[in-house]
Amino acid sequence: MYCDGDNVGIAIGQTSGYRLAVAGGILSEGVKVSSVSNWPDYVFSDDYAMLSLEGLRAYIRANKHLPGLPSATTIAREGYSLSEMDKLLMEKVEELTLYIIDQESELQSLSGELGVILPVADEEIASGKTVYKSHNVDIETHLKAPTQKEERTFRDMASPRSLEASPAALCDVISCDGEGVGIGADPVEGYRLAVSGGILTDDIQVASVANWPDYVFEADYKLRNLSSLSAYIAREGHLPGIPQAQLVEQKGYRLEVMDGLLLEKIEELTLYLIQQERQLTFLESRQ
């Protein structure tokens, strides 16, 4: 461990402007992003301009990646910010939701023209099996849940050699309260490490995550019907089970929780697409 001005490096040559730079990856029970601006609730605003599906198809054919997302080449060369990628992924999930709702309207219109009723699976509003138990949940209590790992102070973890090498610099950059460590920030209750200014590392590994959303594919999972989903979006301005932009901007979010929510929505979209494919096949058989 060494200090690079106001930044800290662990087994790495340069901190590259990040408050903490770590070579080899980080293992933690969870990671919280303190706040995020411009969370993509804007996708559901009336003035949001979406590509047509034909335009999207043409973009993908030409660029081999989704619009607004960095290419594989860029990611391999530059890496990415986890919080920025979560924003982009949420934006794409919300766009796909709107495409699917529009497709549903077209299927319903076609079924009316053919004089047939679309087959629909059993539907019921709201599952309750989401990572967030309520759409209006105060996520701060969940985000600040203290860990139960063995308590170790910064001096337990740092090598004597690194402390002796530049004690003044370490004291200037790192603060310790006996249970937590702050780098460029005061220690935060309930967190073992608080970093102001960003982290650069090869990988962040979450030790374990409960309630990973495989439950979406269970037989008893109740998927909202698309008309109910459309009404919810029009009323609330965000997806069910996802915290609204104002809450994310004020309180941040835990990366592992948001990843679970993103996967839940992707799996729900998968079920909607499978259902629409079956409905389209049914309509084609009646033409």
Q: Which two tokens stand for residue 120?
A: 């629909």
Q: Does the pLDDT of residue 139 top 70, yes or no? A: no
Measured from the Cβ of residue 53, the count of other Cβ atoms closer than 10 Å reads 11
All structural domains of the chain with their residue ranges: 33-131+211-286
Q: What is the pTM of this model?
A: 0.79
Measured from the Cβ of residue 27, the count of other Cβ atoms closer than 10 Å reads 10
Measured from the Cβ of residue 193, the count of other Cβ atoms closer than 10 Å reads 18
**Rounded to the nearest 5°, which phi and psi values hold at 83?**
-70, -40
What is the tens place of the pLDDT at every residue in 86-102? 999 999 999 999 999 99
Provide the mean pLDDT of the chain. 82
pLDDT band at 15 (very low <50, low <70, confident <90, very high): confident
Q: Cα–Cα distance between 86 and 20 in angstroms, integer?
A: 21
Query: Collapsing DSSP states into helix, strand and coil, what is residue 258?
Result: helix
pLDDT band at 103 (very low <50, low <70, confident <90, very high): very high
Check residue 137 and report its DSSP letter.
-
